[in-house]
Amino acid sequence: MSALVFSAELIIFVILKGRITELYQPRTYSLPEDQRHESPPTGFFSWIPAVLQTQDQVFLQKAGLDALLFLRCLRILSKMFAGLSLIVIPTLIPLAVVHGKNAQGGVQGLDRLSWPNIGPPSFYWAHLVMALLVATFVCRIIYTEMIEYIRIRQTYLASPQHRTQAFANAILVTDIPKRLLSVPMLSRLYSVFPGGVRAIWINRDLTQLSRKIIERKKMARALEAAEMKLIRLAIRSSHSRERRAESLKPRGKEPTVGHDDGSQIWQHYVDPSKRPCKRLPIIRGSWVPSIPFVGTKVDTIQHCWQELARLNDEIRADQQDFNKYPLLTSAFVQFNSQEAAYMACQSLVQCASWCLDSHFLEASPEDVK
């Protein structure tokens, strides 16, 4: 039964793999040309040798270090279970079937292949040898893989493609005291490392700016939803009119949507009273949501355009005048060499407790907000 289920799942996977490419092969077409993978063969099983023969360097360049190490983890597990199956099963199963308790000891069916069917104590040595062999085999594989992991990691970190990136030569320093919370003081403190300091950015509390950016994203999504609703209304009305009278359709034009109040094409198909509308909250700028039938009723598209224009101006002004935001007790320090960044991350810069105590190396740009 298990073999039938496995065969059915394998056949379904092979069929869907070639048809649903956005799920099973997204990296073959959705990435830039230099980062795309080659499409696997379209044969029923011809893709298996192509995947197994792909070099680790290809996975490292196309998918990154994390994906490569995950694939190597799966490869290790396959090697362990395949190797142990070839050693343990041919040894212990015949021993259990021939010299086990079997029917005389009340063991029947598949239980004859399990632990309850172990025979007399004189045959325990086989299980002891197999246990030692399994432990040695697993430890050997883990040891060799750890050595290979260290080699791959060091090669990747020292590669020109990685070490030339800004975050590879930068560290995040936290718990900075106020007396050192300035660019000159931090530059003097970290300039002792080889190559010196290239740049220092002291972090600021940008909570208000982040809230405006989040609000702008919400307005953009609301605008997109409202315009799509208007487009659907216009298309539905256009199709209805085409069925009644083809001559009423504007010549050479298709229903589109704009935010101006001029002669928009949607006006030929949708009554202005049917445009998407919304109620504004009673208390503007607070967490109180809008209440149905309460508050000012506004046109959703026009309101979103006005809010987006206002938020864009405010965000642009805040980004240009970022010095008005308060300083935090952390900073990014970028060095001229990767060696200096690693040395600074592993060095004790200050002897005082809770002072420059935490250093973080290679902070991902996606985590910096």
Q: Could you read off the pLDDT tens digit of each residue along the chain, which spans 369 residues? A: 677 888 888 888 888 887 888 787 787 777 777 777 777 777 777 777 877 787 888 778 777 788 888 888 988 998 898 888 888 888 877 777 776 666 666 666 666 666 666 766 767 788 888 889 999 999 999 999 999 999 988 888 888 888 888 888 899 988 888 888 899 999 998 888 888 899 999 999 988 999 999 999 999 999 999 989 888 888 888 777 766 665 544 544 444 444 444 346 667 777 777 888 887 776 665 556 666 766 678 888 888 999 999 999 999 999 888 888 999 888 999 999 888 998 888 887 765 666 777 788 887 767 766
* Cα–Cα dist 321/140, whole Å: 59
Q: Element (H or E) spanning 361, and its range?
A: strand 359-361
| Contact (CB, 8 A) for 100 and 112 | yes
Alpha carbon separation from 76 to 50, 88, 131 (Å, rounded): 19, 18, 19
Query: Is residue 66 packed enough to be buried (19+ CB in 10 Å), middle (13-18) or exposed (0-12)?
Result: exposed
Structure confidence at residue 6 (pLDDT): 83
Distance between CA atoms of 171 and 324, rounded to whole angstroms?
A: 25
pLDDT for 253: 47
Question: What pLDDT score was predicted for residue 1?
Answer: 67
Say how far residue 209 (Cα) sits from the centre of its chain.
25
Residues 6+ apart with CB under 8 A from 87: 130, 133, 134, 137
Crossing angle between the packed helical segments 300-320 and 207-244, to the nearest 10 degrees: 150
**b/e code 166-190 from CB counts within 10 Å (16+ = b):** ebbbbbbbeebeeebeeeeebeebb
- State which amino acid sits at residue 111: D
Q: Determine how many CB atoms are found less than 10 A away from the CB of residue 310.
A: 13
Residue 147, classified by CB atoms within 10 Å of its CB into exposed (0-12), middle (13-18) or buried (19+), is: exposed
- For 251, the token pair is 């010549």
User: How many other CB atoms sit within 10 Å of the CB of residue 48?
Assistant: 13
- Pairwise CA distance, residues 87 & 205, whole Å: 61
Asked if 186 and 333 touch (Cβ cutoff 8 Å), the reply is yes
Give the pLDDT of residue 108: 67
What pLDDT does 96 receive?
73
Instruction: Tell which residue, 197, 73, 87, has the closest CA to residue 145.
Output: 73
Q: How far apart are CA 32 and CA 53, in angstroms?
A: 24
> For residue 297, what is the enclosing H or E element?
strand 297-299
Give the C-alpha separation, 133 to 117, whole Å.
Answer: 21
Whether 180 contacts 186, CB under 8 Å: yes
Could you give the CA distance from residue 318 to residue 358 in angstroms, rounded to a whole number?
A: 30
> In sequence order, what are the beta bridge partners of 332?
172, 201
